Structure 1
Amino acid sequence: MKLRVLGCSGSDLPGHNLTSFCVNDTILLDAGSVTSSLDLAAQARLEHIFVSHSHLDHIKDILFLADNLIEFFVAGSRAPVAIHGLPEVLDAISTHLLNDTIWPDFTVIPTDSPVLTYAPMIPGVPVVIGDLSVAAYPVNHAKAASGFVLWQDGGTRNLAYTGDTGPCDDFWKAMDALPFALTNLITEASFPSSMEALATASKHLTPKLLRAELDKLRARPDIFIYHLKAPFADVIVDELARELAGYHYRLLREHDCIDI
């Protein structure tokens, strides 16, 4: 399983790309910085988008990706790009973005070969794409939100992605209940611990809160941290070094490529 970091920042600033990860060249986990990170040929290889929640920083490039790919669909030469997520997330995208007011509805354009299609997910029920399985598990963020678990080879290669989340007992219980040992985890640390009230109100994590969440896990995966708010990044990095003592972790950076 090959993971490419297109964007992993909690802020949209020069040098800080919004959240999006590309898996095996054909799958996206969120779509915050796709069209600014991939050339057209790479965009044309994309077949699936797994959307954790409907906040703009995780979905905005679905709009521009659809527009860029229109040439490949005019002749009806390929299957639509499937947008996977909880039903409430897909409904929000349909109602508020792909609605012919904010952006054209590319689930019906072109008429005979639309660019996009919706693929609602049931929590815990995997979507199988070749030899890769992807399942959604709800987290504590937004109106409806989920993380995802991806696995191959019966789970010997696996990755969990929380998406944005605040404290959430059920997600960690689900990770420990997987039929394989969780070995890789992408999760967030958005604010410094001094801003815990804001983190809690917006359903995000601080380094202190993240440590408390990780301590709920029996598994001890390798941890990859994303979504630092850029104005506070230096403080967050220092706090992570203290709070995550004893854990194996690294900060994700744009353009990282990781073999799982």
Structure 2
Amino acid sequence: MPDLTGRSAVVTGGLTGQGLAIAHELARIGANVAVGSYVSEAAGRRGDAAAYPDPAEIVAIRGALEAHGGQVFAGHLDVRDTDAITQFLADAQAACGPADILVNAAGTTAEQPVVGHSDELWLKIIDTNLNGAFRMIRELLPGMIARKWGRIVNIGSTAASVGWKDNPAYCASKSGLLGLTRCVALEGAPHGVTCIMVSPTWVETELMRRNVEQVVEREGKGRSVAAAMAEIAEQNPQRRIIQPDEVAALVAFLCGEQAKGITMENIQITGGALW
């Protein structure tokens, strides 16, 4: 595992799920870490499946990350809002230093077919999963180029490569994220900046559980969420669901010096399964 002592990382979606697991792994191997997610007391999901943390959770998350020994910043970050991004990054830099690493893990989805899909929900998913990553990269890439070192990891999905019934906005956003990854990789290549997409299949997070809840509700067959998740695990050739720490370990390696030649790739973590 690489040593990231002296490096500073920004992780969007870093207060929950895969983002939080990644933040812990980066902090464990020496990085200063700034984590941000959309924080809401009222959740305000409007039909999407994201797991929005409560403000009260931030203190505990910050303390757990600080236990690794580095500098930590944790706070509200709405990647759909340019002003919110600007404020978050200013606070993050003051606490942790200029960002050498960006992990775009903020994301959401919803169980909706194309027919009857609302504009509001479509735009919310695209704006979070794709536009949000673009905004973060646009802000942090110039500094990485100037310092001649940077790592950008976009958390994608196997949905970038294959469709998934009743999830058109999610699939479209992750396909777009792959295209963005390739373009940023080319832009950063002469300057020591890499850009990679890591694409897991189902990962056992709160986002997954909420998404499965929506699937079960749409089916209307009385099947429990636990039974549905067990079926997903059984359908995987490894007979299990991918865990957040598996994603975190790969991301941490890609952020190290030994991975400087790995860029423009879409690395899948599937257990042998595609949707």
Quickly name the TM-score band, shorter chain normalised. Answer: 0.3 to 0.5
Structure (1/2) with the larger helix percentage: 2
Higher relative contact order, chain-length normalized (CA < 8 Å, sep 6+) = 2
Judging by fraction of residues, say which structure has more strand. 1
